[in-house]
Amino acid sequence: MFSSSSSSFRLCTLLFVFLLYINVVSSTNKIGQGYRLISIEESPDGNLVGHLQVKQKNNIYGPDIPHLQLFVRHETQDRLRVHITDAERQRWEVPYNLLPREQPPPLMKTIGKSGKVPLTASEFSGTKLIFSYTSDPFGFAVRRKSNGQTLFNSSSEESDPFGNLVFKDQYLEISTKLPKDASLYGLGENTQPHGIKLQPNDPYTLYTTDISAINLNADLYGSHPIYMDLRNVGGEALAHGVLLLNSNGMDVFYRGSSLTYKIIGGVLDFYFFAGSSPLAVVDQYTALVGRPAPMPYWAFDYVKHAFYHINFHACPFDELGDLNYLISVLLLSAFCNIIEPLEMGFHQCRWGYHNLSVVEDVVENYRKAKIPLDVIWNDDDHMDGHKDFTLNPKNYPREKLLAFLDKVHSRGMKYIVIIDPGIGVNSSYGVYQRGMANDVFIKHEGEPYLAQVWPGPVYFPDFLNPKTVSWWTDEVRRFHQLVPVDGLWIDMNEASNFCSGKCKIPTTHQCPNATGPGWICCLDCKNITKTRWDDPPYKINASGIQAPIGYKTIATSAVHYNGVLEYDAHSLYGFSHSIATNKALQGLEGKRPFVLSRSTFVGSGSYAAHWTGDNQGTWENLKYSISTMLNFGIFGVPMVGSDICGFYPQPTEELCNRWIELGAFYPFSRDHANFYSPRQELYIWNSVAESARNALGMRYKLLPYLYTLNYEAHISGAPMARPLFFSFPNLTECYGLSTQFLLGSSVMVSPVLKRGTSKVKALFPPGTWYNLFDMTQAIVSKQGHYLSLDAPLHVINVHVYQNTILPMQRGGLTSREARMTPFSLVVTFPTGVANGEAKGKLFLDEDELPEMKLGNGYSTYIEFYASVTEKTVKVWSEVEEGKYALEKGWTIEKVTVLGLAGFGEELAVEIDGKPMADVSKVEFNAVEQKFLEKLEDGGDKRKSMMVDVKGLELPVGKNFAMSWKMGIN
């Protein structure tokens, strides 16, 4: 939905507050003298358990917790855990049933000298990481065993800008020293104007908040307290990861040479991931927090997201009486919130499809324009009075909607709708009645907590309560019987509230007022400041303005299941909502769930995809979308994308051209717009339609590659969209690069991000790169060079790297249509190679089955290989479980080999070790490749050929081998 914190007044306010914030950061005082280690011992199972005692108490931000328990465990050869908590009382932690992991030992509660404490540092060594500690004051360090490099060091010296460990009930502080040449990534969700690499002195606050993504350097919809640290020492790049698993609000201060956490509750639960490559860090991280969910094939089709919500609940001063500010916020906010697209294909959505006939026209207009479309979305336009799990009987009559769904389903298309967590307080509303009967709502002072969202007065389900999950599952089942939707889009789950404080339904006026804007608070509300949970001693930089942490959300003194405070569980709300929704969908028709969630937390990628929220149709937001997407790959949420063309206001025609060219290569590709914006479906402008056909046409040809990346993400966490340093970690020019990205390890996308240009400056890491739209064009980079590329209005530069085998298909207007076309393989060698190798992979399965795995009889996995040596070219496959592919009848019709020194002759083809009976239809075509001279070494102008082998009918599910001699022209 749309967020309302976006006016020019707000931007000025943010600038002012930011300057104050920087001033506060620079003058931070050290708090206390830390703790001393009073006992430590090795437990029978080989872990360290120690006890800490505060050195000198003080009352800054509250009294110190006097005794702490330290637990250290090498959980795997790559992962070290350091857990610090109150030694005498159980404290809030991320629930172990919500995010399954090993539990630390129970609290000993008896503080004494159970082991000798050395006066100097002592070490606890694992396979790849070493934990060491100093006793007084207590500090710990984590080092890499292979080279002794210090990855984390919490000890403070007098000259450091940070102090020793602080542990109070509502304020925890710990820091680490960093080398100045360390490159850090992560700590989100936020919109980082400087790009993916973290910048010293930029604010990083983690607390799930519904403010528009146009707000820079502010806490947004998700909380991900994980960072990756990449260092290049002597030409060798090594990466590691650090997760602080804590759901409480926190500020993270990055100064370049140090990083400080300031957290308002919970425990210190650190996980260190040894890496040492960026890809290994994400692998190790997702092994702990959960592998990304498998996505259905159609989800990779791009649907234009044209259903949008307005969410004005984030106006920070509208309750303070600033009318000018409120008006400006309302005017701008009405454009902000975006609805998300489904996974692999192209998705279309808009907030404001007022009736079913509009949706029908959108689908038909895409078809007439020959623009691929897989998923059509509805925002809350389909609902009766904005109420979840309902249909508007006038504008979306069930009989006509079912007929429409029969039609789109027959074409292989899908339909997704939005569901918000807020349940309308309405005694005649069955969902509300059943919720009350099952006692599923969050409480405040013994009664369901009253808030306001789109339906007006609402209660929020408590997804930490098992009864709530069962009730939600039943409501999803009931709705699916009403409308057979193909997935659910869950929004407003930070949780978003148009009001603040303790509210009641007014007796003097109607709420909501049908004639007024739905995002204005119409309840009678009073601020809640009497508890320390609503007004904690330390104020995090919430919403970028140090807003009260209960502002425009659930009061933080509200209570969840088993007495859990909203204060602690706030940032888990969207995560628990995703888990419940994923579980509910799993029980429907035995299909693979698709959930799109706005709010996310550590582990959300196991249950949901994500779109990056309310953006603007500006060139700046086009650029920001790349960094945000790449961050979520690091967070373990690879299925991610931004609203194409922007959520609001109307983009220019040129911008929309460039945005669909880029957005066609987002993992999640959806066009979405605001209720108050003019229409911006891709067919509206002829020029945009042409760009869409070009870019989405290539996306649909690449669906086999993208779906294989989806499989790799599911088994290893590997991001689908990656920064260039993932494949080229030793090339330091890549470390801050946020204007290009890789799909997988080998396909590089270099979009135009500036207005009024037909050129793009792109970095080419060392090696040979081939233009995917015109494979006769090659670029040879010797050491890593920038090059100015031609990029006319309808062109995006996409290149594939050497030593790759890329599986492709012909494409189509839906993923189902594209999926039934023959395959082709693109094999890339370094230009003019005499000896070389290439590799590739292909995963295929029955994509709507709940699990994505081999061994179930409905999947096939193939590894492709190619070599060139002694003027002989060989291409072959090794098939694992070929039965499924054979039943589908898939074949490979063409193999294109790039970088050869000559054309082909004397072809030999074998299938399962037997010669192919008839090769008479097979033909060779050879074209000499062209080079951009600026990057070519003048003394090394070897001839390079593109050789097509056409007319093949190689069964995808059988091993094949083909070879030929290279003739020299």
**Residue 222: inside a domain:** yes
Show the domain range for 856: 721-966
At 906 the pLDDT is: 85
The sheet carrying 450-453 orders its strands as 423-424, 456-459, 450-453
857: domain CATH number is 2.60.40.1180
Report CA torsion sign: 680, 683, 688, 694. Answer: positive
Q: What CATH code is carried by the domain that includes residue 139?
A: 2.60.40.1760
Residue 942 domain-assigned?
yes
Q: Are residues 799 and 936 in the same domain?
A: yes
Per-residue pLDDT, 886: 97
Are 262 and 354 contained in the same domain?
no
The pLDDT of residue 628 is above 80: yes
Question: Of 255, 287, 319, which closes a domain?
Answer: 287
Which pair of tokens denotes residue 345? 């294909």
> What pLDDT does 825 receive?
98
The mean of the pLDDT values for the chain is 90
Mean pLDDT of all residues in 812-839: 95
Q: Give the CATH number, domain containing residue 569.
A: 3.20.20.80
Q: 826: pLDDT confidence band, cut at 50, 70 and 90?
A: very high
Residue-wise pLDDT for 681-696, tens only, equals: 999 999 999 999 999 9
pLDDT for position 966 = 83
Candidates 229, 491, 881, 948; catalytic one? 491
User: Which one of the listed residues 169, 380, 420, 494 is annotated catalytic?
Assistant: 494
Neighbours of 76 (CB within 10 A): 16
pLDDT at residue number 28: 55
Average pLDDT estimate for 388-413: 97
Where does 411-557 have alpha helices with state H? Answer: 430-438, 466-482
Q: What is the chain's Cα-based Rg? A: 28
- Mean pLDDT confidence for 436-440: 98
Say which of 381, 614, 847, 948 is annotated catalytic: 614
For residue 309, what pLDDT band results from cuts at 50, 70 and 90?
Answer: very low
- 858 and 932, same domain (yes or no): yes
Give Cβ neighbours of residue 745 (< 8 Å, ≥ 6 apart): 722, 726, 727, 801, 804
Asked, for residue 619, whether it belongs to a domain, the answer is no
Q: Return left, alpha or beta for 717; rule: phi > 0 is left, psi -120 to 50 is alpha, else beta.
A: left
Whether residues 228 and 374 share a domain: the answer is no
Quote the CA–CA distance of 226 and 161 in Å, as a whole number: 22
Tell me what the mean pLDDT of segment 732-742 comes to.
97
| Cα dihedral 386→392→398→399 (10° resolution) | -160
pLDDT of residue 968: 57
Q: Give the Cα separation of 148 and 507 in Å (integer).
A: 69
Could you say which of 593, 617, 642 is where a domain stops? 593
What's the pLDDT band for 295 if we cut at 50, 70, 90?
Answer: confident
pLDDT at residue 150 is higher than 70: yes
Question: What is the total count of domains within the chain?
Answer: 3
356 and 266 co-located in one domain: no
Residues 539-564 have pLDDT tens digits of 999 999 999 999 999 999 999 999 99
**Do the domain assignments include residue 614?**
no
pLDDT at 111 over 70: no
Residue 736 has pLDDT above 70, yes or no: yes
In a domain? residue 728: yes
What are 879-929's pLDDT values in tens digits? 999 999 999 999 999 999 999 988 878 889 999 999 987 888 899 999 999
Give 425-428's long-range contacts (Cβ < 8 A, gap of 24+): 425/450, 425/456, 425/457, 425/458, 425/459, 425/505, 426/387, 426/455
Q: Is the pLDDT of residue 343 over 60?
A: no
Quote the pLDDT of residue 904. 79
- DSSP reduced 3-state for 244: strand
User: Using 50, 70 and 90 to split pLDDT, how confident is the model at 120?
Assistant: low
Let me know whether 820 and 932 are in one domain. yes
How far is Cα 544 from Cα 11, in angstroms, rounded to an integer? 10
pLDDT band at residue 530 under the 50/70/90 scheme = confident
- Based on the residue annotation, tell me whether 494 is a catalytic residue of this protein: yes
Separation CA 478–CA 373 (nearest Å): 28
Looking at residue 644, its pLDDT comes to 98
Q: Is the pLDDT of residue 306 over 50?
A: no
Instruction: Please report the pLDDT score of residue 903 as a whole number.
Output: 83
Domain boundary among 593, 618, 642: 593
Residue 149 domain-assigned? yes
pLDDT at 802 over 70: yes
| 539 and 413 both lie in a single domain | yes
Average pLDDT over every residue of 872-880: 97
Give the H/E segment covering residue 662.
helix 653-663
Residue 878 lies in a domain: yes
Distance CA 171, CA 160 (A): 20
- Do 230 and 356 lie in a common domain? no
Pairwise CA distance, residues 131 & 143, whole Å: 7
Residue at 939 is within a domain:
yes
Nearest Cα neighbor of 628 from 186, 200, 300, 329 is 186
| Domain co-membership, 861 together with 944 | yes
Rounded Cα distance between 406 and 638, Å, is 31
Number of Cβ within a 10 Å radius of residue 529: 12
Q: Examine the pLDDT at 17 and tell me if it is beyond 70.
A: no
The reported pLDDT for the residue numbered 833 is: 86
Residues 810 and 931 grouped into a single domain: yes
- Report the Cα–Cα distance between both ends of the chain, in Å, rounded: 62
pLDDT of amino acid 942: 66
Confidence of residue 778 (pLDDT cuts 50, 70, 90): very high
The answer to whether residue 338 scores a pLDDT higher than 80 is no
Q: 352 and 283 in one domain? A: no
Q: Are 627 and 740 in contact (CB under 8 A)?
A: no
